[in-house]
Amino acid sequence: MGQGSGRHGLGELVRTGLRHPREGARQFLSLPIDERHTGELVAAAILLGSVTEYLFALALVTVSRTSDQPPGQIERMLEAVLASGPVTLAVAGALAFGLRWGLVVLAGRLFSGKGSLGEAARLLAWYDILWTVLFLAILLVVVVLPPIGVLLLMFAGFWSVWMMVEFVSALHGWENRMAVFFGLMTGYLFLQILLGLLPI
């Protein structure tokens, strides 16, 4: 993937994906990635995301322990994440990825989307990888300058929603971004409810 399709290098794909997500999604979908490499890409995205989530929880717990305040609910939740271990996080990440993939594909089938099963899997994996790259950069700021890091995390949250709207719009050829946004929010709430009911 380093040489892309002869037109897009990895660095360009990352920059475009972060700055112009819709165009970045189109560039990524133009790459000749077969089913085997799609599976490897998905696995890499899940593992990278799980390790990053574990490191993030570890960083926040470490920072919170420097305070004289007793641990609050958020700190206890983060400690529970650490206690679960990377393997459990990877299993949960794989399950969450499969559910998101299914919802994106289902939405395309219901509303005349153009994206295929393989394209949806590749694009979701690429989204997760880009998000992880940004998240790791912010994690360093959280450790060094916690107040600024928290502000960056808030900004990154809004950015991730905008990026997902652009990615899904590019995948299915949809132009009504507001409809895509509301659809994503509905799907997100559904996933949170469903994952909250699972014994993981």
Specify burial of residue 198 (Cβ count, 10 A radius: 0-12, 13-18, 19+): exposed
pLDDT tens-digit readout, 57-113: 887 777 666 666 656 666 677 777 777 778 888 898 899 899 999 999 999 999 999
Nearest to 147 by CA among 67, 52, 82, 49: 67
Residue 2 has pLDDT above 70, yes or no: no
pLDDT at res. 6: 45
| Half-sphere exposure for 126 (CA within 13 Å, toward CB) | 33
What are the φ and ψ backbone dihedral angles of 65, each rounded to 5 degrees?
-75, -15
Which band of pLDDT confidence, cut at 50, 70 and 90, is reported for residue 192? confident
The mean of the pLDDT values for the chain is 85
Using alpha carbons, list the distances in angstroms from residue 27 to 5, 23, 193.
Answer: 9, 6, 34
Give me the DSSP letters along 184-198.
HHHHHHHHHHHHHHS
Q: Give residue 145's pLDDT band: very low, low, confident or very high (50, 70, 90).
A: confident
0.85 exceeded by pTM: no
Quote the pLDDT of residue 198. Answer: 52
